A and B are shown apart, each in its own frame.
Chain A
Amino acid sequence: MRRRFGLQKAGPRNSSDQRAELLLGALACVVLALIAGMIIFVFQKAWPSFSHNGLDWFNPFAGGNVDDQLTAIFESPGNPSQYVFTMHAWPLLYATALITICSVVIGVGFALLSAMFIVEFAPDALRRVLEPVVRLLAAVPSVIYGLIGILVLVPFVGNHIISQGAKDSVAGVVTLSGPSVGVGILILTVMITPIMIAIVVDALRAVPVGWREGSVSLGVNRWRAMWTVTVRAARPAIVAAAVLATARALGEAIMLSMVTGSVGFAPNPLDGIIYFVEPARPLAATIVDNSEGLSVPPFADTLYAFAAVLLVSAAFLSFGGWYIRRHLRRYTLSPI
């Protein structure tokens, strides 16, 4: 630390500095140990589920109904040698990926444009209102969004958007009554966009004014200067914002458990427009819905397997984001 900021050691070694250094170092080590312990614990618990199913755990064509499989695991006989572990989790993985990717893609677009507006184009009066509101929205607990979804959006979609013909066309296979991936994506987008806006606004502000002024003085209009200079320079921060938002979306459980339908169904793109009103259940929501079954050992192992997949995805996300940021930084002379 001292060296990086160019501070010289002042006289004899300062004992309170030394103590602080040791204390903070110890704290950091505790955090690392906790994370390592957590990963080992989750994987050790999850292992039976993975080892019994092999690659079929992830295979889209492995077949079987995921809810029937969960019920069978839950009702396994008490004898450990007869435990049932069959789990083909594709519908849950698919639902997680679908909802996360859609909401992050929509959210990044919205966040970027809103941040540009706030930084460059908004009148001062509007900006003074907008910024605190965005920061407030970023801090709203997800269960509140879930309540709004279940009390307002889900009934609206069920009673006004889905036609009787659409319901009849899939009757007996899946129930279209409002809870759906569409509502999940919509609310998740609303949930993760404010935090992205807040980060991107800070990043755009951190780009030296001179760079943009330089391009404006060459005769470029404000929009072009913003888009080609400021946004370009802030790309690493935009990636960072997207990674943070994806992590939040990936782990969102309560809200999605409330609005996406609690059915382990894989929405079928061939169904046309009703694709987005079909129900599904992502991994995190499955853990919440079924946490009562933790007392049954093979069921607990299966839930830990879901958790392990989420952990690995989050890790990949961090590494991916780090790699992209490093890559971008090399070519953009970014100050961030």
Chain B
Amino acid sequence: MSRKAARLLAVVAALSLFATVPAAAQAKKVITISGSTSVYPLEVLLARKWIKTKQGKKYGFRILQGGSNVGVSDVSKGRVSIGASSRDPASTDPGGLVFTKIAGDALCIITNNSNPLGNITKDTIQKIFLGPTFTNWTQVPGAPISGTIDPIGRAPTSGTHDSFRNIFLGGTNQGSFVAGKASNGLVQQGVQSDDHAIGYVSLAFTSGVHVVDYNGVACTLRNAQSFQYGGDRSFYFVTRGAPVGGVKKFLNWTTHSNKANKIVATDWIPLH
């Protein structure tokens, strides 16, 4: 019995040594981020680059996803240093939060490849997604096909739903007949497999489907970056109060340095 206990103690001691040594060796300050799944790929690229700079060397990152609203709520409760949000500040957000814009993104209207609709206006989008004034493709100006329109949307809790409502629907919620999918990918898949579907996704999710021009401008990275495309939205880093310490340095670098700008420009709309 006592020999077993001694052996157990030795094992525990050895394990705890393993656990403590690396932590002591690092001694880096950790910046935590949680929030939007749309911002996630961008924030990972930014963080990776920053910890290689002179300033960033002293810091480490822990990055989680969860959705824009999770990020906002986490940061307001002090669970993370930065919340990532793909939606604008809302009146229902907790007080004292500071939204710092880090990049722009475009929301594209997509249809099935067999329905290469040339152009769509805000008015048409509202007639399809709000009260169903348009239920057949023959009612849509310029539509090459006929048949019932199958609108596909996102769940009301997503940041993309919020952006779509504010940019295209004039602040009104989409009708309850619109399917509320859980992710960009599911909307993309739904449109891909249904000839009569129409949906909205982030610019990064437009492969395999037809991207419709909005008000005569194509939804492309170039048009979005030159601000000709009307369906752009912002990505934010949210902090509780003005950023301080490492978070402030990271945010300054993200919003001001050329290196950060270049990373943003690969797939998103840079600030300058």
Cβ-neighbour of B179 out of A168, A175, A291 (below 8 A): A175
Q: Which of B34-85 contact A (CB under 8 A)?
A: 66-70, 72-74
Flag A254-286 by CB within 8 Å of B: 1 or 0 each: 000110011110000000000000010000000
Known contacts A78-B93, A167-B147, A295-B69, then 11 further A-B pairs from the complex at CB < 8 Å, ordered by chain A residue = A68-B173, A168-B136, A171-B148, A175-B148, A177-B197, A179-B179, A257-B182, A290-B156, A292-B158, A295-B72, A296-B73
Chain B residues within 8 Å of A164, by CB: 147-148
Choose from B149, B158, B181, B194 the contact partner of A155 (Cβ within 8 Å): B194
In the assembled complex, the Cα of A179 lies from the Cα of B189 at a distance in Å of 12
By beta carbon, the residue of chain A nearest B70 is A295
In the complex, B166 has a CB within 8 A of chain A: no
Q: Are B132 and A172 in contact (CB under 8 A)?
A: yes
Residues of B near A184 (CB, < 8 A) are none
The reply to whether A74 and B157 form a contact with Cβ atoms under 8 Å apart is yes
Report yes or no: A292 in contact with B179, Cβ–Cβ below 8 A. no
- Provide the residues of chain B in CB contact with A71, threshold 8 Å: 156, 173
Cross-chain contact A68 with B176 (CB below 8 angstroms):
yes
The verdict on B177 contacting chain A, using a C-beta distance below 8 Å, is yes
A288-B182, A294-B70 known; A78 and B157 CB under 8 Å? no
Interface size on B, residues (CB 8 A): 41
The interface of chain B, by Cβ under 8 A from chain A, is 66-70, 72-74, 91-94, 132, 135-136, 147-152, 155-158, 173, 176-182, 186, 189-190, 193-197
Bound CA span A175–B189, Å? 16
Option from B73, B92, B93, B182 in Cβ contact (under 8 Å) with A289:
B182
Residues of B within 8 A of A334 (CB): none
State whether the Cβ of A150 lies closer than 8 Å to any Cβ in chain B: yes
> A148-165, CB under 8 A of B: which get 1 and which 0?
001100110011000010
Asked whether A158 and B179 contact (CB < 8 A) given A171-B132, A290-B157, A295-B74, the answer is no
Asked if B179 contacts A279 (CB within 8 A), the reply is: yes
Residues of chain A contacted by B92 (CB below 8 angstroms): 75-78
Report the tally of A-B residue pairs with Cβ distances under 8 A: 115
CA separation between A154 and B28, bound complex, in Å? Answer: 50
Asked if A67 is at the interface (CB within 8 A of a chain B CB), the reply is yes
Q: Interface digits, A170-207 against B, CB 8 Å rule (1 contact, 0 not)? A: 01111111110000000000000000000000000000
CA distance in complex: A190, B253 (Å): 54
Q: Which residues of B contact A176 (CB under 8 A)?
A: 148, 150
Number of contact residues on A: which range applies? 35 or more
A77 partner residues in chain B, CB cutoff 8 A: 91-92
- Min CB–CB distance A268 → chain B (angstroms): 14
Nearest B residue to A178, CB-CB: B194
Report the 10 A-B pairs with minimum CB-CB distance, sorted nearest first. A295-B73, A293-B157, A292-B67, A172-B132, A155-B193, A171-B135, A167-B148, A177-B150, A71-B156, A292-B157
The answer to whether B155 and A289 touch across the interface, beta carbons within 8 angstroms, is yes
Nearest residue (CB) in A for B148 is A167
What would be 16 A-B contacts, judged by CB atoms less than 8 Å apart? A68-B176, A71-B156, A150-B193, A151-B193, A154-B193, A167-B196, A168-B148, A175-B179, A176-B148, A176-B150, A177-B150, A178-B194, A289-B155, A292-B70, A292-B158, A295-B69
Q: Please tell me if A306 contacts chain B, counting CB pairs below 8 Å.
A: no
Bound together, the chains give a CA A122 to CA B224 distance in angstroms of 65
Which residues of chain A are near B182, meaning CB under 8 Å?
257, 262, 288-289
Report if A215 contacts B (CB, 8 A): no
- A263: which of B70, B93, B179 is its contact (CB, 8 Å)? B179
A45 to chain B, nearest CB (A): 16
Interface: A70 (CB within 8 A): yes
Check if A159 sits within 8 Å of B147, measured CB to CB: no
With the chains together, A177 CA to B180 CA distance in Å?
A: 13
| Residue A304, interface by CB 8 Å | no
Whether A65 sits at the interface, judged by CB under 8 Å, is: yes
- How distant is the Cα of A179 from the Cα of B194 in the complex, in angstroms? 11
Q: In the bound complex, how far is the Cα of B68 from the Cα of A116, in angstroms?
A: 53
- Set B69, B151, B196: member contacting A292, Cβ < 8 A: B69
Q: How far is the CB of B252 from chain A (nearest CB, A)?
A: 28
| CB–CB B155/A263 < 8 A | no
Q: Does A299 contact B (CB under 8 A)?
A: yes
Tell whether A150 pairs with B67 under 8 Å between CB atoms, given A70-B156, A171-B148, A293-B157. no
B-chain residues with CB within 8 Å of residue A291 when the two chains form the complex = 157
- Chain A residue numbers with a CB within 8 Å of B190 are 177, 179
Min CB distance A252 to B, Å, is 15
How many angstroms from the CA of A150 to the CA of B193 in the assembled complex?
9
Give complex CA distance A291, B181 in Å.
12
Q: A70 to chain B: which residues have CB within 8 Å?
A: 156
